[in-house]
Structure 1
Amino acid sequence: METKNLQRIALSTYFFMSGLCFASWASRIPTIKDAFGLNDAQLGTMLLVMPISALLGTVASGWLVSKFDSRDPLLISFLLFALSLTGVSHVNTTFLLVISLAAFSIFMRVLNIAMNAQSITLQKTFNKNIIGSFHGVWSFGGVVGVLFSTLMVKAEVSMEIHLTIISSITIIGSLLAYQYSLKDDKSKTGNKLIFGKPDTFILYLGLLIFFASICEGGMFDWSGIYFKDVVKEDVFTYGYLLFMICMAVSRFFVDKLLDKLGMPTMYILSSILISIGILSAVLFPQFWTALIGFCLVGIGVSSIFPMTYMLAGKSQKYSPGMAISIVGTYSIVGMFVGPPLIGYLSHAFGLQKAFLIIMFCGLMFIPISQLFFKNLKQE
């Protein structure tokens, strides 16, 4: 097998495990909420720990991609990521939960930037688009994570055993994939952050990622709560599961759709699907209508991150790793604002009304993407 294909398989393994771990954590949020007796506002405050910590991960990853090849930081961050996931499930005080979530978030940020930097470098060795498929694999890992979580919830298996199993799989997979990960991928230029007038190319991409992060973060962190408290479904992972399945399947078609429709049209289509999906779930909070609505949201958000990271890799000012690191900062701000804001709005007005913030953020893809492509033509 060609080296580049082995490298693609190894990188896909990392994307899969990242999705697996994140979905396993997110699907257990209702369990954590009940275990610690948190209301929606308190849960929203707890979720603030992750984006705040991720800022530290972004600073670290920006420095790492400028100094080293990405494969060693990728492996080390994955191993620590898996261990911190185990820590989340074994703590019994709020303080220790905060520490575990902070570590989980820091290492997740480092590995995400390292993975995406590798994907852009590997893309250059292929004659067809492959970046969308990596994000599809991430979502597929998420689907497997939610499916496994659903089985664990139905079988009443403890969260400690559940997350320890996931962590063990991740550690083994990380070590196996390491030998085939990309080597010598450190860029020789564009590795320094340049202060001064904001680069409009990066700014518009950052805003797209910002609103995408609010949409995805809101669905990741609150879809289980929505099905449990609003839809009144005992197996609360169903909505999150279908959302992840639709996002995963759609991402495997992103590369082909981009060739046929183009990015400007894809951003508009994504915006419309997200808006219709959220409205369906909010106006008709019954099982099937909410399920279909979450499905449409999953399809809608599926292409935003792959498209935007593809564009970031084409920056003339920064290396792929540094461009993704900068754009990723906007993602963190989105995660900082979105899930906690939904928690506070839910506490004040109810979760149904709070979910409308996701629809608003989805609509923002249209004006921002149009401004980006207009500005791109003028340069």
Structure 2
Amino acid sequence: MHKPKVYRSAVGAMFFMAGICFSSWASRIATIQEKHGLNEAELGTVLFAIPVGLMLSLPIASWAIAKVGSRLVLAVALTLYALTLIALGFAPNVFTLTACLVVFGLGSNAVNVSVNTQAVATEAMYPKPILASFHGLWSLAGFLGAGVGTLMIGQEVSPQVHFIIMTCIIIVSIFICWRYLHNDKQPVGGGGKVFVMPDKSLIILGLIALCSMVVEGAMFDWTTIYFKKAVGASKAWEGAGYTAGMCFMAAGRFVADGFSHRFGLKRTLQVSGALSMTGLLIAVIFPQLVPAIIGFMFVGAGISSVVPMIYSAAGRSTTMQPGAAIAAVSTISFVGFLIGPPVIGILAEIFSLRISFTFLALMAALVVVFTSRAKI
């Protein structure tokens, strides 16, 4: 048995490595697109392989965690995740690239469920919430990974060499942290059943996360387009809203734990939904550069704490084991991440981008509504 800070450092390192892995891939998507001669529509189709892998992993991850514990699942999944990164760099054709992306998505979500199970076990050792700070480390890793990717592109380093370097760092980190992770072969949280239908409380938690993930998924894919077409930003400022949102999302995750400890989970989720709704309405009502940037600062801060807090609450379920409960909530919420971007595209085509972003404000409002009715 190690000290809580030791577990916290090891689990935090795993969150950071997961963020590095994903952001390393994301930073070289344009390079991979050029290598395979894909247009935007073809690239979008290929990238859909990632959510296919994510969905495939959900029942596998919860079952594996129940059988062998989240530590072993995390180590294996993160190793697979990192090795698949190399395979993506060396993929000789689109078919192979697509197959590798399915595996990449599978590894990504297996890491997500297992590392959050570890985080819930670590949080139980502290008198106050700490789970959101782990997600903050993932966000920081995203910034670092993107920066390293930009540097690699500038130095004309191939994706293959770039990904090999990142994979080596990740695997070494796994070896170093292995002994300091929770050995929960008898799953953390004890005797809850693995395969049971989620109860009403878990379903509501999933719906809260789903609404927030609709906003988050759309923010990732559509903010730059919104600034270009609705705000009319110059090319140099097209990414300003996305950058502002990401910065405030990362920062929000480091203050969310303290806020939740002081005001409670319900109030934290209500404030989060209200911030997202307010920010989106500012961007819709005042589609000028400065108000829109401020609006997306609110959005980033609003979505920052919802998923970490929901995972924390799910991990304390009395009806399911933590890994299974987190996987169940993740399954429900992931639907939002999938449907958000295409729904925005459809609404924008039928009406306008501003109308479609008003729909996102409605989703943020539902976070407040569902939270207010939930017994949490």
Fold-level match, TM-score > 0.5?
yes
Partner residue of 1:74?
74
Match of 1:57 in 2: 57
Percent identical: 35
Partners of 2:43 and 2:89 in 1: CA distance: 16
Deviating beyond 6 angstroms after TM superposition, the runs of 4 or more aligned structure 1 residues are none
Work out whether residues 143 and 241 of structure 1, in 8 Å CA contact, stay in contact via their aligned partners in 2: no
226 and 28 in structure 1: CA distance in 2 versus 1, 3 angstrom threshold:
farther
For 2:314, the aligned partner's letter is A
Q: Secondary structure at the match of 2:99?
A: helix
Corresponding residue of 1:291? 293
The structural deviation recorded for 1:151 is 4.4
Pick from 358, 368, 371 the counterpart of residue 370 of structure 2: 368
The TM-score normalised by the length of structure 1 is 0.85
Q: Which residue of 1 aligns with 2:39?
A: 38
Say how many residue pairs are matched.
371
Q: 1:118 to 1:23 in 2, by over 3 A?
A: same
Matches within 5 A, 1:1-379: 3-29=3-29, 36-39=37-40, 44-91=44-91, 93-152=93-152, 159-187=159-187, 188-195=190-197, 199-223=199-223, 231-233=233-235, 239-282=241-284, 288-345=290-347, 353-373=355-375
State how far apart, in whole Å, the 2-side matches of 1:175 and 1:235 are.
42
Partner-residue secondary structure (3-state), 1:191: coil
Query: Which shows bigger deviation, 12-21 or 172-181?
Result: 172-181
**Mapped contact 1:48–1:340 kept (Cα < 8 A):** no
The structure-2 alpha-carbon separation of the partners of 1:87 and 1:217, relative to structure 1 and needing over 3 Å to count, comes to farther
Using the alignment, how far apart are the partners of 1:84 and 1:168 within structure 2?
12
State the Cα deviation string for residues 261-286 of structure 1 (Å, max 9, x = none). Answer: 22222222212221233344455555
The SS at the match of 1:9 is helix
Name the CA shift for 1:248/1:165 in 2 (closer, same or farther; >3 Å): same
User: What CA deviation, in whole Å up to 9, does each residue of 1:3-55 have, x standing for no partner?
Assistant: 3321111100001111222234345556666664434x655544432222212
TM-score, L = length of structure 2: 0.86
Q: Deviations over 1:322-359 (max 9, x none)?
A: 11111111122222222343455556666565444433
Larger RCO of the pair (alpha carbons < 8 Å, separation 6+): 1
Paired residue secondary structure (1:101): helix
Provide the rounded CA distance (Å) in 1 between the counterparts of 2:254 and 2:290: 25
The separation in 1 between residues aligned to 2:348 and 2:43, in whole angstroms, is 11
Counterpart CA distance in 1 for 2:135 and 2:176 is: 20
Structure 1, 259-268 or 42-51: larger mean CA deviation? 42-51
- Tell me, yes or no, if the aligned pair for 2:128 and 2:261 is still in contact at 8 Å: no
Contact 2:81 2:108 in 1 (8 A): yes
**Mean CA deviation greater in 249-258 or 268-277:** 268-277
For structure 1, the residue ranges without an aligned partner over 5 or more in a row are: none
Change (3 A) 1:203 1:184: closer
Q: Distance in 1 between matches of 2:95 and 2:352?
A: 28
Q: Do 2:24 and 2:163's aligned partners in 1 also have CA atoms closer than 8 Å?
A: yes
SS in 2 for 1:276: helix
For residues 97 and 239 of structure 2, the distance between their equivalents in structure 1, rounded to whole angstroms, comes to: 22
- Take 2:103 and 2:116, find their aligned partners in 1: how far apart are those partners? 20
CA gap of 1:29–1:250, structure 2 versus 1, over 3 A, is same
The alpha-carbon deviation at position 215 of structure 1 amounts to 2.0
Q: Secondary structure at the residue paired with 1:253?
A: helix
Contact 1:51 1:335 in 2 (8 A): no
The answer to which of 111-120 and 14-23 deviates more is 14-23
Deviation at 1:93, TM superposition (A): 3.7
Contact map agreement 1:150 1:237 (CA 8 A) in 2: no
User: CA 1:148 to 1:285, structure 2 compared with 1: closer, same or farther past 3 Å?
Assistant: farther
Question: SS in structure 1 opposite 2:97?
Answer: helix
